[in-house]
Each structure stands twice: as C-alpha cells, then as structure tokens.
Amino acid sequence: MSSNHSPRFSAEEARILFGSDSSDGGSPRSGRASHPPVAHLNTSVDRSHHLSRFVPVLVLLAVMWALEIVDTVLPLGLDAFSLQSWNLLSLYGLVTSPLLHSGFGHLVANTFPFLVLGIVIAFEGSRRFWQVTGITALSSGLGAWLTTLPGQHIVGASGIVFGFFGYLAVRTWFTDDVLRKIVYFAIGFFIFVTYGASMVFGMLPQANDISWQGHLFGFAGGIFAAWLLHRRRQKPAGRK
C-alpha cells in the first residue's frame, strides 16, 4: 500500500535528470510531456525558409555575371555553347543560352528587370520561380530556334525576362481571391508602366541583332505558364 504514495518523476523531469523520456512510459501524461515546445525553433526556421525563396534569382544572376567575367578574362569563347538556330546538336543551348551574353552592356540591360520581376514571382515560392523560368526559357528558346535564320547564335536572358513580364501581366486573371487580384493587378500595372513600351517594341521585328523572336515566344510562354500553373485553382461557377 505504501508504494501508492511514493514520489514519482514526471516524464519531463526524468528527461532532464536522466536524459530519457521513457521513465514514465505507462503514464498517459507522458505523451504530452515528452514533446517539449519548439515554437522558437520553428519560427526561426520559417523565417529562413521565407528568405530562401529568393535565392534562385540571385544564384542565376551570379552565374550569368561569373560566366561573362570568365568569358572576358579568358579566351574561351563561351558563346559558342549557345543555342544555334536549326542546329539540332545545339539544343543544349536551351539551358545554357539564357546564362550567356554578348557583353557586359547586354548583361546589365537584362540584370535589373530579371532581378525585379524574378523576385516578384519568387514571392510565390522558389518552386514557382523555377517553373516559370523553365517554361519561358523553353518557349523562348524553341521559338527563336525555329524562326531565326539558320546558323544564328541566340544568347541572353531577355527571353526569360519577357516571359516573366507575360506571366505577371496576366497572373491576376487566374485567381478568385479579391485581394490577390488587386495585388497582381497593381503589380501588372506597375510593370506595364515601367517596361511596357520597351517590352512591346522588343517583340516587333527589328533590323538589328536583337532576337525579337525570342522575346515574343518568351512572352507567350509566360502567358502559357500562368494558365498552366494556375488554371486548376479556378472553381466552376454554380457548384457547391
């Protein structure tokens, strides 16, 4: 009978004293006590995770700048690894061409819009950024590869930039949330006011070395990406 009145350690006390939380395995209270709160740890991890979504944007820009510096300092001729129109053996350029540029002037012109538009898209998550980037790079590259005169080398991230523009310009139409519609409309309007003229002009035929075909198909790829990635979120009207 005296054993019923003997002192017992709680699971939390046993864990602190003996390094184990199994001393009170038969007690129903041990389930809750054996899991100490970790709210502070989760909060710090979540903050880091939120910031990590922007890392891909910065990484891609860093790669572009590193390649251009190397190509300038060393006589490597990296542009030879770009996409060459109508050359099946150069289709690996769908991946490499957006990372290569014809000079620092070309790279600087693409850096700021890539950074701004890329960060806006990355607010939806790093996965969404990679999805939009991949779709627009593929659309821009294949479109330019098919419609440019044979043998032309296609380099630069401007096709992806135009894809970002197309994605954000129509993103507002693929959400039912009123607040999101307002936010994306404001973003689209700002982008149009800031880049609209140059974007529209960049998709028209030009008598220079600019790949307007890549711009046009990149823009179309951005619109397609918005439809493809968000169409399933639309709820059919009249259903409950």
Question: How much is the pLDDT for 177?
Answer: 75
Amino acid at residue number 90: S
Question: How much is the pLDDT for 41?
Answer: 43
| pLDDT in 10s for each residue of the chain, 240 residues | 444 554 554 565 555 545 544 444 444 444 444 555 544 444 444 455 678 999 999 999 999 999 999 999 998 889 999 999 999 999 999 999 999 999 999 999 999 989 999 999 999 999 999 999 999 999 999 999 999 989 999 999 999 999 999 998 888 788 777 887 787 778 777 777 777 667 777 787 876 778 899 999 999 999 999 999 987 644 555 554
Residue closest to 159 by CA, chosen among 92, 113, 191, 108: 113
CB 214 within 8 A of CB 149: no
CB 10 within 8 A of CB 24: yes
Question: How much is the pLDDT for 193?
Answer: 77
Question: How much is the pLDDT for 121?
Answer: 93
Q: Rounded to an integer, what distance in angstroms lies between the CA atom of residue 157 and that of residue 33?
A: 55
CB 143 within 8 A of CB 220: yes
User: How far from the centroid of its chain's Cα atoms is residue 102's Cα?
Assistant: 24
Residue closest to 86 by CA, chosen among 2, 133, 166, 152: 152
Residue closest to 139 by CA, chosen among 219, 73, 84, 25: 219
Q: Rounded to an integer, what distance in angstroms lies between the CA atom of residue 213 and that of residue 98?
A: 14
CB 96 within 8 A of CB 81: yes
